[in-house]
Amino acid sequence: MADLLVIAYPTEAKAEEVRSRLLGMQQEYLIQLGDAVVAARGALGGKLSDAGINDQFMRDVAANLDSGHAALFLLIRKMTADKVMAELQGAGGTVMRSSFDETKEQALRDALAGAQAVAASAPAAG
């Protein structure tokens, strides 16, 4: 079973940059993508596959983006979560939709935001 992930970015260029990074990770066998598509208001970029994400779903989500913003749609078949999260550290973006469980989704949000190790694990100052 694959997981669906939709991340919004302030520009199409930033969404394409992250897509390229993920495709690079796929070459290193850190992630296996069924589909990776960038959509800006009404326009879809990237290779669309018949077995991938529903085109109408992508158009519907893209129609709700702010002008100039873009969404990166990912259909993730498998991934080495810790290595992928580390690679995406500080990449920015906002998770719009996800089929991940709450723990995995929060870890992804933290990685995109650039959050470092949980403060509770650091020694207390004092």
Ordered strands of the 70-79 beta sheet: 43-45, 31-40, 70-79, 3-9, 94-98
Rounded to 5 degrees, φ, ψ at 14 are -65, -40
The answer to which of 13-27, 32-46, 65-79 has the lowest mean pLDDT is 32-46
CATH class assigned to 3-116: alpha beta
Q: How far apart are CA 11 and CA 67, in angstroms?
A: 9
Q: Residue 50: what pLDDT?
A: 52
Domain ranges of the chain: 3-116
pLDDT band at 122 (very low <50, low <70, confident <90, very high): very low
Query: What CA–CA distance (Å, rounded) separates 123 from 108?
Result: 24
Task: State CA 4 to chain mean position distance.
Answer: 9
